[in-house]
Each structure stands twice: as C-alpha cells, then as structure tokens.
A = this chain, B = another copy of it.
Amino acid sequence: MLNFTYNNPTKILFGNNQLVNLSYEIKKYSDRVLLAYGGGTVKKTGLYDRIISNLKKESIFFTELSGIQPNPRITSVREGIRLCRDNKIGFILAAGGGSIIDCCKAISAGVNYDGDPWDFLTKHPPVKNPLPIGTILTLAATGSENNGYAVISNDETEDKLSMGADSLRPKFSICDPELTFTVNRWHTAAGAADIMSHIFEQYFNIVEGADVPDRIMEAILKVAIKYAPIAVEQPDNYEARANLMWASSLSLCGLTASGKGGGDWAAHAIEHELSAVFDVTHGIGLAILFPNWMKYCLSDETLPRFISYANNVWNISTTEKYETANLAIEKTREFFNSIGIPSTLKEIGVKEDRLEEMAAKAVRYGPIGKFKLLNKEDVLKIYRMSY
C-alpha cells in the first residue's frame, strides 16, 4: 500500500427532504449567493421553487446563472465570475449534476483570480481564495459533489480539460435520491457507467496489496451492477436511486484511490476528446470505450488485476486465466448494453474521419495512462476497436 493523504471535509446531507437544511448550511459562509443551474429541468421538477423559497425565507440574497450545459463551457464560467463580482457574491450554490457543479468550481476559482479562468485548465495556476461552494445533486454520476475536481469544455478550441484543488471541495452537498427520480433511462445508465468508470480508472492499477481500497471498489461496482438496471426500469425506486447516489459520491472522493497512488485516467482522456468534438454524453462514451481499453491493456503483467475483477465483481472463475479475464471484459460490455448503452462510437454519431485527430489531441501533453502507457497509435487503436 502506497503512502497517501486523505482529507475530505465535504459534509454530505443524504436522504429525502434534506433540502430543509439548505439555508442553515449556506449562512455559515455568506448571505449573498450565486444560484447556478442548467437548462431548466430544476424549474420543471419544482426544485427551483423549493430552493428560492428556502433562500427567501432566510433573507438570503441570490442572483442566478442558468443555462449551464452538459460538458459545461468556459463561457458559462466567465459569465458566472462576472455575476459574482458584480453582486459581491459570497457563496455559490450548484443545483444540478456534475456539469453544473464543475462549472461552479471553476467560477469559484476564478472570482479572485486576475487572469482568464481558462488558465486553470491549461496552465494550472494555484487556486487562491476560492468562494465556498455547496451543491444540490440531481444526478448520480460524476462524484463532483464530493471532490475538488472539475472538467470544463471550450468550444472555440474544441478542448475538454480538467482542473482540481482541495480547496474547491464543496462545503456541503445535499444528496436527495428523490431528486433523481426524473432522470431518464439514458442519463441514468450514463450516470451508472460514469460511477463504474471512475472505479475502473482506480481499480485497474498495478499496485497490489492495497486490499482496503480494492475491496471497497469492488463493493461499489457490485452496488452499481445491482441497482443501475433497477433504476433504469423503475425511475422512482428510492432504494436503487439512493444506492447509486451514495456510490457516486464515494467513487471519486479520495477514498477508493487511497494507497493505490492515484488512478490511470487514460480512458477519461480518450473520452474527453469525443465529448469535446461531438458533445457525447460522458458516461456513454466511457461505457463504449472501457471494454476495449480493458482488452487493449490485458497482458501477462496486468492479468492478475483482471482476475481479481472477474472473481470478485462478476463471480467468474475458469481454469484458464485469459479466458477468465476476457469473460469479465465481455460481461462488462454486456452489462452496459443491458442498461441501454450502445457498443460502438458509430452508433452515437462519432465520425470516423476525426479519430486520428482526436487520438493526437488525447496525447498532446505526452503519453497517457499508468496501468498501460498509451501513445497516439494506442489511442487510435482503441478508438478503432470501439468504432
């Protein structure tokens, strides 16, 4: 087990009706709030009204940033920073899924930064004096509600890049499974795939002997495998929504990577190029890529990890080790198919003539991955296997 520091102070308020605690939690930090949300779903579901009635009752001033898109754009970040500065905002409240939360983290970092916020994605200056953030989660997927990472897209440059700082961890996150009852089949499946993908990035790691995080990661995978099909079929199944939501919040908060020396993150980098160019739903892109990434990484060196995965997650064990590993990979693909996710990039509108350019971009800062190091040719092969 490798050395690590684990420090996750985000307060999780989990369960139905936790929204009643909203103003109490905000007022610990400020009474001037930026309320950020997406395309209006929060209005349709009534969440917006519940939030503003809660804020108004406690005389909390708020201004709004709406229209934040999936794969949130740097333009929304710039707009949010302007709103915070103009209105002397002291707290940012994200109501939505990972995209909304990520956008708010970038705003938080940018308000007291002199340059353009895109710098955080490209030059990574230290984050100083960020505004405190809170979240009201409406989608179980990215885990952004319980970590300090953000991924931001730039339409001009067709880039989708990540940033992160411990100081950007939300002060609190309200995780009410009922707020995800309205999530449709496609995004429920994509969310589950996202949760599982985060675990894959950390689980497929050559560090052995770190059983605590390994067994916990298998636990989270088993939860997603059990409950994603239920949530897809029965959108208002509280137990399924609750387990997926808590699994999401634990899958990228530092706990699962403890002692493993960090994750691989090559598949995420490969997927980000798809999302940047074709605005692919992140979890869907990952679900298509991962079985192929696994196949591509399978070797004598990495075999033991796939055996653990096969035995402990899928209960697969045969006398032939490569057969066991391949069965588990195939099972992974079948599982994603079973919850409605296609198997190929072609099916989701990716154009073959841009694969090479995307492969080049995925490795623009050098080879990617740790479990297996990938250069441009490797990435291109994985794109083609997935096409």
Residues of chain A touching chain B, judged by Cβ–Cβ distance below 8 Å, are: 1-18, 177, 209-212, 215-216, 218-220, 222-223, 226-227, 238-239, 242-243, 246-247, 250, 255, 258-259
CA distance A2 to B17 in the complex (A): 12
* Complex contacts, A18 vs chain B, CB 8 Å: 3
CA distance A223 to B250 in the complex (A): 19
Number of this chain's copies in the assembly equals 2
Given A212-B223, A219-B219, check contact A11 B1 (CB 8 Å): no
* Complex contacts, A7 vs chain B, CB 8 Å: 9-12
Nearest CB on B from A3, distance (A): 3
* Complex contacts, A242 vs chain B, CB 8 Å: 1, 209-210, 259
CA distance A211 to B228 in the complex (A): 13
Choose from B8, B219, B220, B250 the contact partner of A218 (Cβ within 8 Å).
B219
* Complex contacts, A246 vs chain B, CB 8 Å: 1, 212, 258-259
* Complex contacts, A222 vs chain B, CB 8 Å: 211, 215
* Complex contacts, A9 vs chain B, CB 8 Å: 7-9
Nearest CB on B from A199, distance (A): 12
CA distance A216 to B17 in the complex (A): 25
For the complex of A and B, the 4 pairs showing the least CB-CB separation, nearest first, are A3-B15, A215-B219, A9-B9, A7-B11
The closest CB in chain B to the CB of A16 belongs to B3
* Complex contacts, A12 vs chain B, CB 8 Å: 4-7
CA distance A309 to B1 in the complex (A): 27
The closest CB in chain B to the CB of A12 belongs to B6
* Complex contacts, A11 vs chain B, CB 8 Å: 5-7
* Complex contacts, A16 vs chain B, CB 8 Å: 3
